[in-house]
């Protein structure tokens, strides 16, 4: 009897030890995702999974860039945070408009809007230093403060010391609001297009749908758990052009998912009433009527209550996809707003400046 109990205890102890070791392995792997890479010994292919994946992505990216609707050039700008890819379009003498992409997207996200905006502005379409695209961070980027410091360095290196209009979509919209808080004097104006968080916390549904949407088979789960939810107008569009734009958008994301290593994303935050009131430059807030990250009407109501000088516009027949689902309306709203605050987009700044 004693022998049987002892053997049983040994078996149980061994099993417990195996479970413990397995748990340490799993926990260690999860912690490694949060910790990030060793920046002292980054592989030459970082942030890609391999040299082959880097080649594949760059070839895909360059092929997509052939769709840019007008002459442009790509510059690689070096800051203390790494190398940033910026695509320039439009007359050099035109007012500067800096475009920040949404999360898990590059400057390619602005392709539908360029034709309508570049004739009036000098466009600087940026690949976020800590996201997909051709930009490569060479040091940790873990907070919103890191991103605003990087963006400030980038504008300096581009020679954009003041008079800048900064426009961001989704995560880029949130970053635009954060930058305006700390470097308001450098900006002429700002456009926040469906900024994530910013006005209300991200819903829990955003998190679990994002996780499920990244599961294989990627296209199936991305379509059914993310796109159909975030972009109902595009998902149900009958227009072949809009269907093609949605396909391109998904292909961009799927290619990035295939080629890039995981980097722990920065969580966007909500601006306090005091922070919103401190924003004294002209600001345009755009939101689709079918937005899912917060109710469009409630977002507008908060701004009208706390910072009524911020211009707001609810875009009909659009959700988080507003810049693609309603490209012409979004572009015309931006142009009307900027011309109305003293920026003559045909000749540069007018006497109101």
Going by pLDDT thresholds of 50, 70 and 90, the confidence category of residue 340 is: confident
Q: Which stretch of 25-39, 143-157, 246-260, 307-321 has the lowest confidence by average pLDDT?
A: 25-39
For all residues of the chain together, what is the average pLDDT?
89
Going by pLDDT thresholds of 50, 70 and 90, the confidence category of residue 113 is: very high
Whether the ω angle into residue 217 lies within 30 degrees of 0, i.e. cis, is yes
Better-predicted residue by pLDDT, 350 or 93: 93
Q: Which stretch of 22-31, 154-163, 237-246 has the lowest confidence by average pLDDT?
A: 22-31
Going by pLDDT thresholds of 50, 70 and 90, the confidence category of residue 341 is: confident
Look at strands 122-126 and 187-193 and give their pairing: unpaired
CA distance 142 to 263: 10
**CB-based burial, 124-136: b 16+ in 10 Å, e otherwise:** bbbbbbbbbbbbb
CA distance 246 to 222: 12
How confident is the model at residue 74, as a pLDDT?
A: 97
Residue 2 has pLDDT above 90, yes or no: no
CA distance 331 to 272: 29
- Region 7-33: what's the mean pLDDT? 42
Look at strands 96-100 and 187-193 and give their pairing: unpaired
- pTM of the full structure: 0.89
- Region 230-235: what's the mean pLDDT? 92
- Region 163-190: what's the mean pLDDT? 97
Residue 198 has pLDDT above 80, yes or no: yes
């Amino acid at each position: 009897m004693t022998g049987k109990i002892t053997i049983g205890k040994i078996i149980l102890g061994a099993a417990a030890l195996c479970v413990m070791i397995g748990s340490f392995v799993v926990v260690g792997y999860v912690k490694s995702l949060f910790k990030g890479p060793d920046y002292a010994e980054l592989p030459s292919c970082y942030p890609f999974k391999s040299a082959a994946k880097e080649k594949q992505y760059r070839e895909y990216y360059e092929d997509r860039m052939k769709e840019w609707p007008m002459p442009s050039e790509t510059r690689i700008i070096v800051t203390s945070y790494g190398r940033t890819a910026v695509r320039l379009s439009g007359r050099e003498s035109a007012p500067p408009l800096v475009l920040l992409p949404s999360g898990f997207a590059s400057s390619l996200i602005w392709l539908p809007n360029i034709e309508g905006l570049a004739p009036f502005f000098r466009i600087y379409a940026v690949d976020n230093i800590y996201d997909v695209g051709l930009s490569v961070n060479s040091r940790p980027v873990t907070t919103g403060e890191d991103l605003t410091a990087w963006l400030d360095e980038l504008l300096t290196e581009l020679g954009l010391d003041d008079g800048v209009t900064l426009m961001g979509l989704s995560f880029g919209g949130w970053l635009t609001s954060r930058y305006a808080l700390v470097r308001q004097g450098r900006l002429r104006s700002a456009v926040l297009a469906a900024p994530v968080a910013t006005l209300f916390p991200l819903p829990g549904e955003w998190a679990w749908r994002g996780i499920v949407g990244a599961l294989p088979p990627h296209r199936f789960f991305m379509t059914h758990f993310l796109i159909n939810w975030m972009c109902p107008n595009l998902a149900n569009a009958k227009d072949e052009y809009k269907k093609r734009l949605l396909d391109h958008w998904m292909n961009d994301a799927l290619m990035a998912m295939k080629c890039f290593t995981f980097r722990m994303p920065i969580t966007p935050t909500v601006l306090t009433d005091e922070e919103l009131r401190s924003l004294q430059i002209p600001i345009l807030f755009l939101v689709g009527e079918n937005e899912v990250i917060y109710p469009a009407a409630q977002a507008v109501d908060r701004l009208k209550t706390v910072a009524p000088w911020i211009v707001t516009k609810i875009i009909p027949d659009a959700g988080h996809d507003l810049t693609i689902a309603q490209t012409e309306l979004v572009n015309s709203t931006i142009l009307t707003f900027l011309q109305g605050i003293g920026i003559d987009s045909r000749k540069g700044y007018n006497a109101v400046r």
